[in-house]
């Protein structure tokens, strides 16, 4: 597999493996042994860039941490900033906390669950409207100095926020949704990344499975699968956009 450079000096496999769906958003948690085998298969195929987050369930970080033991080449990305997530009636409610003291507690918990001493890439999962980007970036600089993280990034942050944060502690990567059915980053974010020397990491590159050709208008998603409420998976949309 080819490699890519994010930011100034983080090298990753060009394809990464997201761990989220093994516990969160796509139905019931998956079998631990099956998922461990899947992660090991990723290594065999040359993929060593992995992405998780505490809000996917603490078991998600634990699963990844256990699966990468004995694989020093693994590049681990996890996140901070969303401290709780609840769903009801098709609405997902998120609780944000990026206060410096909270971040320091969050990183320690992630390190413990992952069983590692340093996180390769630490994303702010969502911005906290009550905390300035400069304060978050300054906290990231402290964590880098302490050896708790190597790089940091943002996920779904506004461009002005990215610029302000980057001016304090340079961002290595921006993680946003991007696929052939969601191309919004092409409007401005790509050019900002090129201008500032920030890497772009696409999540949901297959449109949550929409582009896989696996699903159609008759597909029934299991309870706990958030695609039940996603517009692109409505039967009438699937019928109009089905693959030939």
Catalytic residues: 56
Show the tokens assigned to 153: 């990034």
Looking up tokens 């961002």 gives 171
For residues 63 and 192, give the distance between their C-alpha atoms in angstroms, rounded to a whole number.
34
Of 176, 178, 179, nearest in space to 212 by CA: 179
Query: Which pairs with CB-CB distance under 8 Å and at least 24 residues apart come from 68-73?
Result: 68/39, 69/115, 71/43, 73/43, 73/48
Phi, psi of 169 (to 5 degrees): -135, 110
For residues 35 and 77, give the distance between their C-alpha atoms in angstroms, rounded to a whole number.
18
Label residue 76 exposed, middle or buried (CB < 10 Å: 0-12, 13-18, 19+).
buried
The partner residues of 76 in beta bridges, in order of sequence, read 50
How many CA atoms does the CB half-sphere of 209 hold within 13 Å? 15
CA-CA-CA-CA torsion for 131, 133, 138, 143, nearest 10 degrees? 80
Cα end-to-end span (Å), the chain: 30
């Amino acid at each position: 597999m080819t490699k890519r450079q994010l930011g100034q000096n983080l090298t990753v496999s060009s394809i990464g493996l997201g761990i989220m769906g093994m516990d969160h958003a796509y139905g019931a948690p998956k079998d631990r042994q099956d998922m461990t085998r899947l992660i090991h298969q990723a290594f065999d195929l040359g993929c060593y860039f992995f992405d998780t987050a505490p809000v996917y369930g603490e078991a998600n970080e634990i699963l990844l941490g256990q699966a990468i033991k004995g694989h020093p080449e693994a590049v681990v990305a996890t996140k901070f900033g969303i401290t709780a997530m609840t769903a009801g009636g098709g609405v997902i409610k998120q609780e944000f906390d990026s206060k410096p003291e909270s971040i320091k507690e969050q990183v320690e918990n992630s390190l413990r669950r992952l069983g590692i001493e340093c996180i390769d890439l630490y994303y702010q999962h969502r911005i906290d409207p009550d905390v300035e980007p400069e304060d978050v970036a300054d906290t990231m600089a402290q964590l880098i100095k302490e050896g708790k993280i190597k790089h940091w990034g943002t996920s779904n942050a506004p461009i002005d926020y990215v610029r302000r944060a980057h001016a304090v502690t340079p961002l290595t990567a921006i993680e946003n949704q991007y696929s052939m059915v969601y191309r919004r980053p092409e409007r401005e974010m790509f050019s900002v990344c090129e201008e500032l020397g920030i890497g772009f990491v696409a999540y949901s590159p297959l449109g949550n499975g929409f582009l896989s050709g696996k699903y159609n208008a008759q597909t029934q998603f299991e309870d706990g699968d958030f695609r039940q409420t996603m517009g692109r998976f409505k039967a009438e949309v699937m019928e109009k956009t089905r693959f030939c």
